[in-house]
Structure 1
Amino acid sequence: MSFFKKALGAVGIGAAKVDTLLDYHQFAPGEEISGTVKINGGKVAQEINKIDLKVMCTYTVERENSEGESETFTKQHTLAKFRINERFTIEPGDEKHIPFAFELDLETPITVGESQTWIATNLDIDMALDKSDRDYIRVVPTELQQAVIDAMEELGFKLYESDCEGIEEASFSRLPFVQELEFKTNAGEFHGRFDEVELVFFNRGEQLEVIFEIDRKARGLRGFFAEALDLDESKARLEVDEDNLEDLEDLIFELLEDNC
Structure 2
Amino acid sequence: MKGVLSRIGIGSATVDTILPTDTVRAGDSVRAEVHVEGGTTDQEVDAVYFALETEYKSDEGSKDAIIDQWQLTEPFTIEAGEERRFETTIDVPRETPVTTRSTAVEIETGLDISMAVDPGDADYVEVEPTRRTQAVFDALASLGFSLHASSCAATAGSLFTTSTTFVQEFEFRPENGEFAGEVDEVEVVPVFGDDGLAVYVEVDRSAGLLSEVTDADERHTKLTVDAADPEAVEPRLAAAIRDLR
Q: TM-score range by the shorter chain?
A: 0.7 to 0.9
Instruction: Choose the corresponding residue for 2:136, options 134, 138, 148.
Output: 148
Instruction: Choose the corresponding residue for 1:190, options 175, 179, 183.
Output: 179
| Per-residue CA distance 1:105-130 (angstroms, 9 max, x = gap) | 11111112311111111101233211
Report the secondary structure of 2:46's partner residue. strand
User: Hey, what does 1:235 align to over in structure 2?
Assistant: 220
| Per-residue CA distance 1:8-54 (angstroms, 9 max, x = gap) | 22322111111111233222121113212211111111111111111
| Per-residue CA distance 1:207-240 (angstroms, 9 max, x = gap) | 42111011169xxxxxxxxxxxx88871011112
User: Hey, what does 1:223 align to over in structure 2?
Assistant: none
Retained in 2: the 8 A contact 1:17–1:40?
Answer: yes
CA distance in 1, matches of 2:216, 2:79: 67
CA RMSD of aligned residues (A): 2.3
Q: 1:13 to 1:211 in 2, by over 3 A?
A: same
User: Hey, what does 1:224 align to over in structure 2?
Assistant: none
User: Hey, what does 1:116 align to over in structure 2?
Assistant: 104
User: Hey, what does 1:66 align to over in structure 2?
Assistant: none
User: Hey, what does 2:7 align to over in structure 1?
Assistant: 10
User: Hey, what does 2:232 align to over in structure 1?
Assistant: 247
38-47 or 165-174, which deviates more: 165-174
User: Hey, what does 2:192 align to over in structure 1?
Assistant: 203
What displacement does 1:169 show?
5.6
Instruction: Choose the corresponding residue for 1:126, options 101, 114, 118.
Output: 114
Superposed, which structure 2 residues align to 1:1-260 within 5 Å?
A: 4-63=1-60, 73-168=61-156, 172-204=161-193, 207-215=196-204, 234-242=219-227, 245-260=230-245
TM normalised by structure 1 equals 0.83
| Per-residue CA distance 1:110-152 (angstroms, 9 max, x = gap) | 1123111111111012332111111111110122211111111
Retained in 1: the 8 A contact 2:14–2:39?
Answer: yes
Gaps of 5+ in 2: 207-214
CA distance in 2, matches of 1:18, 1:184: 44
User: Hey, what does 1:67 align to over in structure 2?
Assistant: none
207-216 or 162-171, which deviates more: 162-171
Q: How many residues align?
A: 236
CA distance in 1, matches of 2:164, 2:75: 32
Retained in 2: the 8 A contact 1:106–1:205?
Answer: no
Retained in 1: the 8 A contact 2:32–2:90?
Answer: no
Report the secondary structure of 1:181's partner residue. strand
Retained in 1: the 8 A contact 2:167–2:191?
Answer: no
> Percent of aligned positions with the same letter in both sequences?
35
What displacement does 1:62 show?
3.5
Higher Cα Rg: structure 1 or 2? 1
Report the secondary structure of 1:191's partner residue. coil
Retained in 2: the 8 A contact 1:82–1:102?
Answer: no
Q: 1:232 to 1:190 in 2, by over 3 A?
A: farther
Retained in 2: the 8 A contact 1:208–1:239?
Answer: yes
